[in-house]
A and B are shown apart, each in its own frame.
Chain A
Amino acid sequence: GVLERSREQLLRQTCEAVLLGVLHPRTAVSLVLQVLSDAGSLLSCCLNAACMALLDAGLPLAALFCGVTCALQPDGAILLDPTARQEQEARAILTFAIASSDRRVLMATTKGSCSVEEMQQCLAAAQRAASTIFQFYRDSVRRRYSKC
């Protein structure tokens, strides 16, 4: 459907921004994501899974990226990584893809309406949360290479 297509486009833009395509001319990179269970924050989950898949495949990347979802509740509170129930009750859902170099924003998408200040606050919170996800990547890779 249209929703899946738009998610595919967002993922593609994010991956193309970090992948070093110059090293593989005339080559197609095909990324397949299968949703086993959806408990909220699906897009940022797909982004994290895509980054780990690219890492595992050994494709050359300029930086890592991660996805963070923020839910803006009706009373103005920011909730990171919302569940499906919290997403439905929220006023706006914002998803950001953040790169590991300088925490710059690769992709931002919003569902619902929010003011510019609220978006900036969500962005700042997401950038802080991204550090936790990058640390998780590092620990996973470390565990994998500790067995060699």
Chain B
Amino acid sequence: MAAERGTAAEALVGQVVLPGDLLLLPAHYDEDAEGERLRLSAGTAPQGRLLCGPGLRRSGAGLLVTKCGLLRHRPGGGGAYWVDSQQKRYVPVKGDHVIGIVTAKAGDVFRLDVGGSEPASLSYLAFEGATKRNRPNVQVGDLIYGQFVVANKDMEPEMVCIDSSGKSSGMGIIGQDGFLFKVSLGLIRKLLAPKCEIIQELSQLYPFELVLGMNGRIWVKAKTVQQTLIIVNILEACEYMTAEQRKQALAKLSGN
């Protein structure tokens, strides 16, 4: 599968691509560049702009792959291409929901460690129902579940625990006890997919509370410490187990 001078992007969807591969896009995407080209087949070309997602960069007539992984494509609304890659290190992205650990309180802002290259800042007013008199009770070492409002490579990331309408919708300080651990980003995306089998099978085993952060952090709390640790071990091992191995492991545990 050598892509010396570019291969058509559609041919490689679902295949492994490596950095340096050049993907060529179908001709009708060059409309903006050459306005004189006539559309002979009106109505069959997709409208809208093509979205170039993570792992890809525009280069000349095509897309240059910058990360290794599987190439994915979404046809709706102009189309989007991206590379599905496995990674352990998190890079903050605007809109992502993450779990942060409070490392310092500096005046009106908290500094949180989110696993990126810089600590994120969180204002004390960014909680539901917080005013200057009514401050939230946040201590150093607490876990916070929030989302990024500012996250780009040039500025320090900023988080909030309310959404655009002022409601907390599940965000805020995560309660006492429980267990926090780190997994790879690919596993988190798999767990967050709709109708994830792993979560459904685990919920048959014991009742538990689960918070998934897009920065690779998972917080679990079950009734007893032993149950919590069992769930932690299963989630960590899920990355390398196939579906049958997982079902066998769960069957052995529920049998005991």
Could you tell me which A residues sit within 8 Å of B by CB distance? 18, 20, 23-27, 55, 57-64, 99-101, 131, 134, 137-138, 141-142, 144-145, 147-148
B56 vs chain A, min Cβ distance (A): 10
Q: Which of chain A's residues have a CB closer than 8 A to the CB of B154?
A: 25
Stretch at the interface among B83-91, B102-110, B163-171: B83-91
Q: Which of chain A's residues have a CB closer than 8 A to the CB of B2?
A: 131
Q: Does B222 contact A (CB under 8 A)?
A: no
Render B1-15 as a binary contact track against A, CB cut-off 8 A, 1 for contact.
110000000000000
Determine whether the beta carbon of B66 is less than 8 Å from that of A144: no
Given known A-B contacts A60-B66, A148-B186, A142 and B16 have beta carbons under 8 A apart: yes
B186 vs chain A, min Cβ distance (A): 7
A59–B2 Cα distance when bound, in Å, is 22
Q: Which of chain B's residues have a CB closer than 8 A to the CB of A18?
A: 19
Of the four ranges (under 10, 10 to 19, 20 to 34, 35 or more), the interface on chain B belongs to 20 to 34
List of 10 A-B pairs having minimum Cβ-Cβ separation, nearest first: A58-B87, A63-B20, A61-B19, A60-B66, A100-B20, A142-B16, A101-B20, A27-B117, A141-B68, A55-B68
Render B62-90 as a binary contact track against A, CB cut-off 8 A, 1 for contact.
00101111100000000000000111110
B16 vs chain A, min Cβ distance (A): 5
Given known A-B contacts A55-B68, A61-B66, A62-B64, A141 and B153 have beta carbons under 8 A apart: no
Q: Does B232 contact A (CB under 8 A)?
A: no
A99–B21 Cα distance when bound, in Å, is 12
A58–B67 Cα distance when bound, in Å, is 6
Q: Of B18, B240, B242, which is within 8 A of A138 by CB?
A: B18
Q: Which of chain A's residues have a CB closer than 8 A to the CB of B186?
A: 148
Could you tell me which B residues sit within 8 Å of A by CB distance? 1-2, 16, 18-20, 55, 57, 64, 66-70, 85-89, 91, 117, 153-154, 186, 190, 240, 242
Closest A residue to B56 by beta carbon equals A60
Given known A-B contacts A20-B66, A62-B66, A145-B70, A138 and B19 have beta carbons under 8 A apart: no
Q: Of B16, B19, B240, which is within 8 A of A147 by CB?
A: B240
Q: Which of chain A's residues have a CB closer than 8 A to the CB of B55?
A: 60
B90 vs chain A, min Cβ distance (A): 10
A59–B67 Cα distance when bound, in Å, is 7
Determine whether the beta carbon of B69 is less than 8 Å from that of A145: yes
Q: Which of chain B's residues have a CB closer than 8 A to the CB of A63?
A: 19-20
A108 vs chain B, min Cβ distance (A): 20
A18–B66 Cα distance when bound, in Å, is 10
A139 vs chain B, min Cβ distance (A): 9
Closest B residue to A143 by beta carbon equals B16
Given known A-B contacts A64-B19, A100-B18, A101-B20, A24 and B67 have beta carbons under 8 A apart: no
Q: Which of chain B's residues have a CB closer than 8 A to the CB of A147?
A: 240, 242
A100–B232 Cα distance when bound, in Å, is 41
A1 vs chain B, min Cβ distance (A): 32
A145–B86 Cα distance when bound, in Å, is 9
A142–B87 Cα distance when bound, in Å, is 15
A12 vs chain B, min Cβ distance (A): 19
Determine whether the beta carbon of A138 is less than 8 Å from that of B1: yes
Q: Can you name 5 A-B residue pairings with CB atoms under 8 Å? A: A58-B67, A60-B19, A60-B57, A100-B20, A148-B70
Closest A residue to B116 by beta carbon equals A27
